[in-house]
Structures are given as structure tokens and as C-alpha cells.
Structure 1
């Protein structure tokens, strides 16, 4: 990667931009072709995916400056890279449905009067999501303590994504979405195995 091994990827501005959704979109149900309920349902699922994906990015962003473990930093960078390809696929599908993602989208598409999305930033109700208290505590950690807690939290986040991907496989109607869901299961399970290995080295 070059440079400081504990500083993964580019800055957060490049990673976020218009990429307000990712793995969680397919897992939240957006990719069941066009969900029952039309654009409102697409919008609700898109928002849910944005929250799930954004938290993973937030967690990856915290690695820089808090760890001296090059393996943890490299893993965070690879997690971000893997999501880029998924985002490109899902953005194309959403655009075809007339529900293209934007960086400032806080209104549910198709909703009468433009109802804003609910704020669930303080909760962990979505599968694998951390609470705001969890995130605040993580921000205050450095070194080995940070590494251990970051790995534990990312494992939980990945497991939530896998659980939702399995729901997609069982209930989805889109062959492309099911293929992506299977790739998510395989990729994130491999990362969970890697993270468990890193925890075992601590």
C-alpha cells in the first residue's frame, strides 16, 4: 500500500461522497427486484442500507491513528475496497428503479410530502449494528485495546450482514442480487475467520 501501514486507503471524503449505501442495501431488501410498495419501499430499504454501510466505513476510518498493527490496518483497507464493487452494482440497480443514491438523500422516494427518514443513529436494532455508545467508546481507545474491540465489533457487524444476505438468498427474486448476496456471505465469512485469528494472536 505504501506509506504508513497503519493508515488504510484514501481519506474518508473519497470513500463517502455519493456512496451512501453498500452491503446493507442488498441485505435490507432493496435487491428483491423492486420491492412491494414501490419507491417508498425502495427508499426505506435504501436508507437502512446506508446506515449499515456508513457504520462500517466509520469503523474503518477509526483505524488510522489508533492502531500500530499493520494487519488490522490492511484488513480495514480491504474491507473498504471490497465494498466498492458491491456499491457499483447496487447503484446501477437502484438507478434503474428510479431511486439512484445521493450523498444528501434524507427523504424517502415516492413519499407524499417528502417524509424524512427516521433517525436510528442511537440504536443497534439493525442486524450487526453497533450502538452510538459502542462507537463513542471505540473512538476513545488506542493501541491493543482498540484493536481488540474493533475486531470484535467488526465481526458482529459482518455477522449481521451475513444473516441478512441469507435472508436475501431465501426470499429474493433477483438472480443477480442472490449472486451478490452469496459473494457477501463468502467474503465476509472469510474476513470473520481472519479477524478471529487476529484476536487469537492478541
Structure 2
């Protein structure tokens, strides 16, 4: 009787040990996966994006969709320009450096347009709180996406990865403006940003696929 009771217990212990060893082996392989990564705090690109996100969260909101869109897109564009300048300094890919220069040229011009709009357009009533909620939801989704990215330390690859998420945030914000905005000037800017940045997202994704690391 005792032998019969001991055997199942021993078998269960051995089975548990085998499963534990198997799980440990899989976890080690999954964690490593042949990919060298760096901590997010080590990436100047990521630090720039976190700084930008903090500024957007702290930005005073007027409740006027066109004004709040313009103010937030200025901050958002400044982040893209800083990361593009870093890519010009640190990157090695001619393709990504050309992309970075194009982003700087386009978005500096758009910042001037947003600033001119704000200078001649005081906030107007009625407020549209739905726009503000959607705008911040888009930015939080962008931040979550970049925080989930495994960064490689390769400036070209990481620039492309994070700029995809950054552009998708701008597209989401611009689509929200088309839904709630009341001014032709900002609506035209929003549509142009959607068109340009969707095209750039595809180019960035094509680069990532051609140079994939995981």
C-alpha cells in the first residue's frame, strides 16, 4: 500500500521538475531571442518623446478644438524635429537621414502655420470636451506603443520604429480634428498631415521590414 502511494507522488514530483526545467528553458530563449536591446532611458529618441508627452499633458486646454489641436501639434512636431536632428547626427542610413531631413523641413513649416493660426485665433465657444478627451487618448496610445518597443541601439532602426508610432499619433490627432474642428485653416493642415504622414509611415515600415532585427 505504501509503495503504491509513494509512486504517484514521486511521478508527480518528477513531472513537475520536468515542466519547470522546460519552462525555464523556454523563458530564457524567449527573453534572449537573439536580439540585443538597450534600456529606454539609454535612448535619446525615447527621452525626447517622454519629454514631449509630459509637455502635452501639462499643456493648458482651452476647449476650442482648433486651438488645442494647433498647440498640441506644435509640441508634437517639435519632438519629431528633435529626433530627426538626432538621426542626422547619429544615423548611418542614407534613406533614414533623407527621411529625417524631410520631416524637419515639412514640420518646421507646419509649426509656423500653426503659430500664425494661434496668433490670429483666440479660443472660441462653445467648448468641445469630446475633442480634448479624444486628443489625449490618442497621445496616450502613442506613448504606450513607443513604451512597448524593444530598442536595439541602432539609431536608424530605432528612429524608424519610434517615428512610425509618433506619426500614427499625429494621424489620430488630425483625424479627431477633422471630426470636431470648425476652422478651414486647421482642417486643411490636418488633412495634409494625414496624407503626408501616412505615406511616411509606409516608407518607415518598408525600411523596418527590409532591415528587421526581430
Q: Which range, TM-score by smaller chain?
A: 0.5 to 0.7
Question: What secondary structure does 1:62 align onto?
Answer: helix
Q: Greater share of helix residues, 1 or 2?
A: 2
Given the superposition, is the C-alpha separation of residues 56 and 165 from structure 1 closer, same or farther in structure 2, using an over 3 Å criterion? same
Residue in 2 that maps onto 1:72: 96
CA distance in 1, matches of 2:187, 2:179: 9
Structure 1 runs of 4+ with >3 Å offset: 44-51, 124-127, 129-134
Query: Could you list the runs of 5+ residues in structure 1 that have no partner in the other structure?
Result: 1-20, 100-123
* Counterpart Cα distance in 2 of 1:170 and 1:125: 17
Q: Deviation at 1:85?
A: 2.4
Instruction: Please tell me whether residue 128 in structure 1 is matched to residue 128 in structure 2.
Output: no
Number of residue pairs matched?
Answer: 140
Q: Is the 8 A contact 1:127 1:161 kept in 2?
A: no
SS of 1:72 mapped into structure 2: helix
Question: Which residue in 1 is equivalent to 2:202?
Answer: 193
Match of 2:161 among 152, 156, 165: 152
Q: 2:64 is matched with which residue: 5, 18, 35?
A: 35
Deviation, 1:98, is 5.9
Which residue in the other structure is 1:96 paired with?
120
- Aligned pairs for 1:10-89 (under 5 A) are 35=64, 42=67, 48-89=72-113
**Cα offset, 1:201, TM superposition:** 1.6
In structure 1, the residue matched to 2:171 is: 162
**What value does the CA root-mean-square deviation take over the aligned residues?**
3.7
Secondary structure of the structure 2 residue equivalent to 1:63 = helix
TM-score by length of 2: 0.54
How far residue 55 of structure 1 moved from its aligned partner, in angstroms, is 1.6
Cα displacement string for residues 67-93 of structure 1 (whole angstroms, at most 9, x for unaligned residues)? 211110000000011112212221111
Deviation at 1:199, TM superposition (A): 1.0
Residue in 2 that maps onto 1:177 = 186
Larger Rg: 2
Q: Where do 5+ consecutive residues of structure 2 fail to align?
A: 1-51, 124-137
